[in-house]
Amino acid sequence: MSTSGIPEEVLRNEALIKRLEEVAKDTALLHGVLMRTKDKPNSPEVVNYAPFTLFPTPVPTALFHQALQVQTHYNRLVDRISQNPNFLQEALASTIKVDDFTAKLFSIYKQVQQEPQTMPIVLGLNRSDYMLDHSADGRTSLKQIEINTIAASFGGLTSRMPDVHRHILKVANRLQERQQILDNNPAAGLARGLAKAWELYGSERAVVMFLVEDVQRNIYDHRYVENELWSRDIPVIRREFEDVCRSGSLDSDRRLFVDGQEVAIVYFRNGYMPQNYKSEKSWEARLMMERSRAVKCPDISTHLAGTKKVQQELARPGVLEKFFPEEPETVALIRATFAGLYTLDMGEEGDRTVEMALAQPEKYVLKPQREGGGNNIYGQEICRVLEGVRNSTERTAYILMDKVQPRPCHNYLLRADAPLRLCVCLSELGVFGAYVRKGTEMVMNECVGHLLRTKSSEHNDGGVAAGVAVLDNPLLV
């Protein structure tokens, strides 16, 4: 293979590329790598392949395994943060004064904190995202971009991608490369976490409720996880915030009922962006679900543990040690994946961060407290934003992070709405984690799979759902 991941003799063979394009699209459809269309996002009659790369992308084997091996430690870290109200209060104190969305989440957290929780069942399904940073001295290292603790997506569709790329490589007569693609089934692992939490809840009649958006383009990603649950005879329903507002209630034991059905688990595939809450009633529904005995995935404290401000605070010297006081090796494994993170709080330290960013904006990324892709700020836009808020507490709604410098490679991106073209691409590796805790006992803690997303280097930010990145597979080299 060339450094681009595509053999030179294949790159030069236009007829073969054309044939592989046709094979790839049909193979993706045959294997269920599907999304609904932008024009008819809620119609099951109109589907197309989800965007993906024609070839898998080379990823160094050692760094790939490093990302997998640290995931169970990240699971424990997120869980411990969620149980530490003092840390959450201190970490988010400045942010909740200026970021209305985080403030509303935190208000719900404070209300729930005041209510008794007897032997809670906690379920975490998260995804830690990384890029490979190439330093000036030629070394390559794994750097965490963020951790997603709510609605971590594409565990379903990426479970089908290994077979797609293996078939393309077989048709291209690249038999050795086929063996460098690992099996990968996050959908099954995420479902194992949901099933374990459902079992601990202890009612065979109770359902798992996927809380979903009203626009359903990515429904097949959900369905893979959902069908894994049905195969275990675990009943699943899909509802929106509006449905919970209309028919949700708590009984005297704080059991949650929606449309008359007891809910064992609320699996949030919605609720991570301000626009998901279309009225005050949506916020009332979130509070009701949080107050209930149902297992929340994530609960409100775990949702807050995934904020960018918490990520930045964890990078401060001595903070990780507080969560792993007798595990220096765990601290070292986690810290090795941190990129440089800097506070924008008011005061001398935050002032230095502002000046640093204004002096060399190309070296940094400005991040608000948002999930879902497409929210980060780059380049001269950093200067424009920071100049506007440099003397205001509004700057504390953001954190600053070193911009990771990945090594680009060439690939073809297949999209239903664009012609095939060779692009200079950048990739991001996500690792899925699943854990379940009952009271103080961690009953499950696993790394359950991975996700590689690739985008053209002309785009700074944005994921698959945002229409920028496409699905991919690591080709271990």
Q: Annotated binding residues for ATP, as ranges?
A: 146, 308, 367-376, 378, 428, 455, 461
Residue 369: predicted pLDDT: 81
pTM > 0.85: yes or no = yes
Report the chain's mean pLDDT, rounded to a whole number: 94
Maximum Cα–Cα distance for the chain, whole Å? 70
Tell me if residue 104 falls in helix, strand or coil. Answer: helix
Both tokens assigned to 152: 């971590």
CA distance 46 to 324: 50
Peptide bond before residue 406 is cis, with ω within 30 degrees of 0:
no
Both tokens assigned to 395: 């700057």
Question: Across residues 265-278, what is the average pLDDT?
Answer: 96
User: For residue 160, how many C-alpha atoms fall within 13 Å in the half-sphere facing its CB?
Assistant: 22
Query: Which CA distances in Å does 37 have to 170, 455, 461?
Result: 29, 20, 22
Residue 463: predicted pLDDT: 59
Q: Which residues are catalytic?
A: 127, 146, 148, 153, 308, 367, 371-372, 453
CA distance 205 to 392: 53
CA distance 62 to 142: 10
Q: Annotated binding residues for substrate, as ranges?
A: 127, 150-153, 216-218, 269-272, 453, 464-465
Q: Annotated binding residues, as ranges?
A: 127, 146, 148, 150-153, 216-218, 269-272, 308, 367-376, 378, 428, 453, 455, 461, 464-465
Residue 46: predicted pLDDT: 94
Tell me if residue 201 falls in helix, strand or coil. Answer: helix
How sure is the predictor about 1, in pLDDT bands with cuts at 50, 70 and 90? very low
* Residue 466 near residue 378 (C-beta atoms within 8 A): no
Domains and CATH numbers, the chain: 8-339+404-476 (no CATH), 344-403 (3.30.1490.50)
Is residue 12 over pLDDT 50? yes
Tell me if residue 264 falls in helix, strand or coil. Answer: strand
Bridge partners for 49 per DSSP: 34
Q: Annotated binding residues for Mg(2+), as ranges?
A: 146, 148, 371
Alpha-helical segments (H) within 202-324:
219-231, 241-247, 280-291, 300-305, 308-314, 319-323
CA distance 222 to 216: 10
pLDDT of 153-162, one tens digit each?
Answer: 999 999 999 9
Residue whose token pair is 């006081």: 325
CA distance 397 to 382: 14
Lowest mean pLDDT among 9-18, 344-353, 365-374: 365-374
Residue 415: predicted pLDDT: 94
